[in-house]
């Protein structure tokens, strides 16, 4: 099988190199972990998962499980920090999915959360078979997870476009996710500047993900304007109906 292999400038990609925990990466990972726990906490706090796309959360579980599949081998390059964060991402997201489909399933908006995940999973997997760094199982899974994470937010965007509603706390969750991605891009730039290392696959996929988050933010920003228009129309409709009622019920002289 022919595979398109990317190489870093004078090095193998950073995944096989030393572990560089820069301030940007630490901050980005913190935002990411807090976003996942924040979502889980608010679903438990409100006893509802309405407005949350279970499809997107399933994609995130798939991303984490495939990306960190090599945890079972515990490579020497892994640090305790690395392992703990990866276990946190997998377990917390999996618990979120289980809660949405069990305890809080009655609040899950199945009617509108109808995006077909297969449309994203299959192309990402096929692409990973040909676009990767090494023709190894873990490498293909890693590339697949990178591509899938870039588009995993699409079911959530689709749900918001259908319902025209986003809870205030969920906006904070999306802001945390967007901040995590933005900080990781800064981390990649800083790592290239300091060590001459870069990961083209992750950088390109991260760019795509950033664009989708910008589109999501724009969509959410338009919701408030739309709600204002709907409110005005509803008020005018109420006034008009009241006027008609008064005319009909007004006693004749």
Identify the bridge partners of residue 4 per DSSP, sorted by sequence position: 131
With pLDDT > 90 as the criterion, what percentage of the chain qualifies? Answer: 54
Q: Please work out, in degrees rounded to the nearest 5, the angle formed at the alpha carbon of residue 251 by the alpha carbons of 250 and 252.
A: 115
pLDDT score of 70: 83
pLDDT score of 30: 94
Predicted confidence band of residue 174 (pLDDT cuts 50, 70, 90)? very high
C-alpha pair distances (Å), 206 with each of 90, 183, 199, 234: 20, 11, 10, 42
Does the pLDDT of residue 237 top 50, yes or no?
A: no
Residues 175-207 have pLDDT tens digits of 999 999 999 988 888 888 888 887 889 889 999
Predicted confidence band of residue 68 (pLDDT cuts 50, 70, 90)? very high
Predicted confidence band of residue 71 (pLDDT cuts 50, 70, 90)? confident
CB burial readout 63-80, b (16+ within 10 A) else e: bbbbbbebeeeeeeeeee
pLDDT score of 5: 54
pLDDT score of 123: 96
Domain boundaries, the chain: 19-249
Residues 130-153 have pLDDT tens digits of 999 888 899 999 999 999 999 999
pLDDT score of 180: 93
Find the range with the poorest average confidence among 19-33, 52-66, 220-234.
220-234
Residues 7-52 have pLDDT tens digits of 443 344 545 444 556 788 899 999 999 999 999 999 999 999 999 9
Per the CB < 8 A criterion, the answer to whether 117 and 59 are in contact is: yes
CA 191/CA 18 separation, integer angstroms? 12
Is the pTM for the entire model greater than 0.85?
A: no
pLDDT score of 229: 42
Over the chain, what is the mean pLDDT?
Answer: 83
pLDDT score of 192: 84
Candidates 248, 166, 158, 151; CA nearest to 209 is 151
Over range 222-250, report the average pLDDT: 52
Distance from chain centroid for Cα 188: 19
CA 70/CA 184 separation, integer angstroms? 22
CA 184/CA 205 separation, integer angstroms? 12
pLDDT score of 23: 83
Predicted confidence band of residue 248 (pLDDT cuts 50, 70, 90)? low
């Amino acid at each position: 099988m022919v595979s398109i292999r990317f190489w870093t400038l004078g090095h193998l990609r950073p995944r096989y190199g030393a572990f560089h925990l820069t301030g940007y990466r630490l901050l980005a990972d913190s935002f990411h972990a807090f976003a996942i726990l924040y979502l889980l906490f608010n679903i438990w706090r409100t006893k509802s998962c309405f407005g949350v796309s279970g499809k997107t959360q399933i994609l995130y579980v798939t991303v984490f499980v495939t990306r960190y599949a090599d945890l079972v081998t515990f490579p020497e390059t892994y640090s305790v920090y690395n392992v703990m964060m990866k276990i946190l991402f997998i377990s917390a997201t999996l618990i979120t999915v289980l809660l949405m489909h069990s305890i809080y399933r009655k609040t899950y908006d199945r009617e509108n959360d109808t995006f077909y995940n297969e449309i994203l999973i299959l192309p990402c997997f096929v692409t990973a078979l040909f676009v990767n760094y090494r023709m190894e199982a873990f490498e293909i899974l890693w590339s697949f997870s990178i591509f899938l994470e870039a588009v995993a937010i699409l079911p959530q965007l689709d749900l918001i476009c259908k319902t025209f509603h986003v809870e205030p706390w969920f906006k904070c969750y999306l802001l945390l996710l967007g901040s995590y991605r933005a900080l990781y891009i800064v981390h990649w730039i800083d790592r290239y500047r300091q060590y001459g290392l870069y990961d083209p696959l992750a950088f390109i996929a991260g760019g795509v993900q950033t664009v989708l988050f910008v589109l999501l933010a724009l969509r959410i920003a338009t919701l408030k304007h739309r709600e204002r228009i709907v409110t005005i129309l509803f008020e005018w409709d109420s006034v008009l109906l009241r006027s008609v009622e008064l005319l009909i019920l007004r006693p004749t002289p």
